[in-house]
A = this chain, B = another copy of it.
Amino acid sequence: MNISQLLCTTALVTGCATQSGPATAPLQIQSQGSFAVGGVVQQTPGRYDNNQPTAAGQSFHGDHLYAFYQVPVQPKPLPIVMLHGAFQSSRSWESTPDGREGFQTLFLRRGFSVYLVDQPRRGRAGNSTVATAVEPTPNDQLFFDQFRIGQWPKRFDNVQFDPAPDTLNQFLRSITPNTGPYDAGVIADAMSALFSKVGPGILFTHSQGGGPGWLTAIRNPNVKGIVAFEPGSGFIFAQQDAPEPMPSAAGTLAPEIVPLVDFLKLTRIPIVIYYGDNFPTTPTAERGQDNWRVRLAMAQRWVAAINQHGGNAQLVHLPEIGVHGNTHFLMSDLNNREIADLVGQFLTAQQLD
Contacts and interface: CB of A to CB of B under 8 A. Distances in A.
A276 B35 CA distance: 24
A285 interface: yes
A198 interface: no
A136 B33 CA distance: 26
Given A26-B28, A142-B58, A177-B126, A133 B136 contact: no
Given A124-B90, A286-B51, A39 B138 contact: no
A257 B288 CA distance: 51
Interface residues of A, number: 87
Q: How many copies does the complex hold?
A: 2
Interface string A48-63: 1011110101111110
B34 A26 contact: no
Contacts of A91: 34, 66, 124
A260 interface: no
Contacts of A345: none
Interface in A56-92: 57-62, 64, 66, 68, 73, 89-91
Contacts of A152: 48, 50
Contact of A33 (B32, B99, B172): B99
A287 B53 CA distance: 9
A26 B30 contact: yes
A128 to B, nearest CB: 6
Contacts of A42: 136, 138
Given A176-B127, A286-B50, A58 B134 contact: no
A64 to B, nearest CB: 5
Interface of A: 3, 6-7, 9-10, 12, 24, 26-36, 39, 42-44, 48, 50-53, 55, 57-62, 64, 66, 68, 73, 89-91, 94-95, 99, 101-102, 105, 118, 122-142, 145, 151-152, 169-170, 172-177, 179-180, 249, 285-288
